[in-house]
């Protein structure tokens, strides 16, 4: 288990313990007040606890090393876990809506609202602190499960804050002698829709990961890293592909190198790039670089001194997140064909400054 995986797993334990504690506090608040708005918060906490333990198991599984049956590791289980969590969030929102409609039709008295509000306020503060920390660690360690847990806690915080604000208004209205029981289920309905929206968003992000959708920020970071550690031997890089398997990152690319460079020299160059990427993105990064010998027309973009030079050096090629991901290298005119149909000149981009 890598350090990042250990950190994710240990923090998810904290999320699970906090979830159980806060769920108990919310049901205590509901028992004291009888508020359906507080009940919606408590019901979502059940989902939080279930999701926390599902995420804990997922992080344990994703930390297992690659084996014969899973050559790329077990990281995708985090995506499955996050999708389950998104589904549970959506279901919780639906249950909240049903309970709110029933309470709107059949209103009931609310009692001890002041004590209930204090308990919910405490749970909101704790949820926000743990949720933000989980999102931060999940993004840093590329853990979909931990990030989903953090988003879940933050959505719980949002609903708690709204419920507190709404019930505070209701408490003030009742203190003035007015009837406002209808406000309790209306508040719950609003946040039921908010929770459903959060769940759907988590599910969409999981589907994006399942089909290995591109991460534009990650690609941009890789492009910056390549440019920062670029050597004059590296004439062109293209065909960049990045796949995330939980905390593991698989980077694949093609590099155009001088044709008379020895295999040993080429190995040294690729090793330096691998070390740079692993240093930037962590030890859970696997890099595969296919070296390609340079064609004659590329001499104008190459500073390397060799016996095969056919033209004087003019400039280095520009590497951007878009050109690096293109399946085609730069052409003789320094342009990249982004469309596989090379006859479509409208899809060509001049990378000259």
The answer as to CATH 3.40.50.11540 being correct for domain 216-350 is no
Residues 118-166 pLDDT 10s: 888 888 898 889 888 888 888 777 776 777 778 778 877 877 777 777 7
Report whether 75 contacts 244 (CB < 8 A). Answer: yes
pLDDT band at 108 (very low <50, low <70, confident <90, very high): low
Q: What is the pLDDT of residues 23-56, one digit of tens each?
A: 888 888 888 877 777 777 787 777 778 878 887 8
Asked whether residue 344 carries a pLDDT value surpassing 50, the answer given is no
pLDDT of residue 337: 53
pTM given for the model: 0.63
pLDDT at 183: 75
Determine the Cα–Cα distance for residues 324 and 348; give it in Å rounded to an integer.
14
Predicted pLDDT of residue 347: 38
CA dihedral over 192, 194, 199, 204, signed as positive or negative:
positive
Among 4-13, 20-29, 291-300, 326-335, the range with the most confident prediction by mean pLDDT is 20-29
* CA pair distance 33, 164, nearest whole angstrom: 13
Instruction: Read off the pLDDT of each residue in 180-195 and give the average, rounded to a whole number.
Output: 77
CA distance 124 to 156: 8
Location of structure tokens 């853990």: 143
Whether the Cβ atoms of residue 256 and residue 328 lie closer than 8 Å to each other: no
Model confidence pLDDT, tens digit, residues 238-284:
888 888 776 778 888 888 888 888 888 888 888 888 888 888 887 77
- Compute the Cα dihedral for 199, 203, 204, 209 and give only its sign: positive
Domain boundaries, the chain: 3-210, 216-350
Domain 3-210, CATH number (from 1.10.1040.10, 1.20.1510.10, 3.40.50.300, 1.10.20.10): 1.20.1510.10
CA distance 17 to 10: 11
Q: State the average pLDDT over residues 189-195.
A: 81
């Amino acid at each position: 288990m890598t350090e990042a995986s250990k950190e994710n797993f240990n923090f998810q334990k904290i999320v699970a313990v906090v979830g159980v504690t806060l769920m108990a506090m919310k049901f205590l608040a509901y028992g004291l007040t009888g508020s359906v708005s507080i009940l919606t918060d408590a019901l979502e906490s059940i989902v939080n606890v279930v999701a926390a333990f599902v995420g804990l198991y997922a992080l344990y599984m994703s930390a297992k090393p690659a084996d014969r049956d899973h050559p790329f590791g077990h990281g995708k289980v985090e995506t499955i876990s996050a999708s389950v969590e998104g589904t549970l969030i959506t279901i919780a929102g639906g249950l909240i809506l049903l309970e709110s409609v029933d309470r709107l039709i059949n209103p009931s008295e609310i009692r001890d609202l002041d004590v209930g509000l204090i308990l919910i306020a405490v749970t909101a503060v704790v949820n926000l602190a743990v949720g933000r920390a989980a999102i931060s660690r999940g993004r840093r360690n590329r853990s979909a499960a931990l990030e989903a847990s953090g988003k879940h806690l933050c959505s719980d915080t949002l609903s708690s804050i709204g419920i507190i604000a709404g019930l505070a208004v209701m408490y003030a209205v009742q203190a003035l002698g007015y009837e406002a029981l209808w406000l309790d289920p209306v508040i719950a309905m609003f946040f039921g829709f908010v929770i459903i929206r959060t769940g759907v968003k988590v599910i969409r992000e999981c589907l994006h990961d399942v089909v290995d959708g591109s991460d534009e920020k990650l690609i941009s970071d890789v492009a910056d890293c390549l440019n920062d550690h670029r050597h004059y031997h590296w004439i062109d890089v293209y065909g960049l592909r990045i796949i995330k398997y939980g905390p593991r990152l698989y980077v694949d690319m093609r590099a155009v190198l001088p044709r008379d460079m020895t295999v040993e020299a080429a190995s040294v160059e690729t090793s330096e790039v691998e070390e740079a990427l692993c240093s930037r993105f962590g030890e859970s990064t696997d890099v595969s670089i296919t070296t390609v010998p340079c064609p004659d027309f590329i001499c104008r973009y190459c500073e390397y001194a060799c016996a095969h030079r056919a033209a004087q050096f003019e400039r280095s090629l520009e590497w951007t997140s878009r050109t690096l991901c293109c399946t085609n290298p730069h052409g003789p005119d320094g342009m990249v064909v982004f469309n596989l149909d090379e006859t479509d000149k409208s899809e060509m981009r001049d990378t000259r400054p």
